[in-house]
Amino acid sequence: MLPTVNWLCMEDAMFTYTVTELANRCNTTPHVVRYYTRMGLLRPERHPDNGYRLYQSEEILWLRFVQQAKSLGYTLKEIKEIMHDADDEKSPCPRVREILLKHIVENRQRLDELLSLQTRMEEALKQWEEMPDGVPDGHSVCHLIESVTNAAAYKKHMRANNLKH
With a pLDDT cut of 90, the percent of the chain lying above it is: 56
- The confidence score (pLDDT) of residue 142 equals 85
What pLDDT, on the 0 to 100 scale, is given for residue 15?
A: 82
Question: Which amino acid would we find at residue 54?
Answer: L
pLDDT, residue 146, reads 84
Fold of 10-88: Multidrug-efflux Transporter Regulator; Chain: A; Domain 2 (1.10.1660)
- Based on DSSP, count helices (H) and strands (E) in the chain, helices before strands: 7, 3
Q: Which residues contact 24 (CB under 8 A, 6 or more apart)?
A: none
CB 25 within 8 A of CB 59: no
User: Amino acid letter at 76?
Assistant: L
CA 13, CA 64: separation in Å to the nearest integer?
15
86, with CB counted inside 10 A (0-12, 13-18, 19+), is: middle
Tens digit of each residue's pLDDT (9 = 90 or more) over 12-67: 456 889 999 999 999 999 999 999 999 999 999 888 788 788 999 999 999 999 99
- Band of residue 152 on the pLDDT scale cut at 50, 70, 90: low
**Taking all residues of the chain, what is their mean pLDDT, rounded to a whole number?**
85
